[in-house]
Amino acid sequence: MKKGNLFDVQKSEGQTTEIFEILADGSAKIERIISQGQISPENEWYDQEMDEWVVLLQGKSTILFKENIEFQLIAGDYLLIPAHQKHRVTYTSTSPSCIWLAIHGKFSGI
């Protein structure tokens, strides 16, 4: 068994890079991401092998897709991103920091 708290950001205080924490891995991967103003490098796109369901638990962010479609997210908003859908993060808030929960796998209904 493993217990944790998704809102515990003490480890991230003073960090200059995003924190990616794998919470579970198997046929799907669950990870927590803590962003504090970090964004994707200019002109670099995520192109992931698996579908990704992501929810923003805290903070504000903006995700841009290669097709010039942009989503501004607030706490509670989620996205289902199909595999190989190129995207990048163009904004994450610092106060409060962004806490994401991402689940990677193969999902139907996309």
* Domain of residue 84, CATH code: 2.60.120.10
Domain-located, residue 3: no
- The model's pLDDT over 51-68, given as tens digits with 9 standing for 90+, comes to 999 999 999 999 999 999
pLDDT for residue 19: 82
Domain-located, residue 9: no
Q: Which domain holds residue 85?
A: 17-105
Residue 12 has pLDDT above 70, yes or no: no
Number of residues in the chain: 110
Domain-located, residue 1: no
Domain-located, residue 29: yes
Overall number of domains in the chain = 1
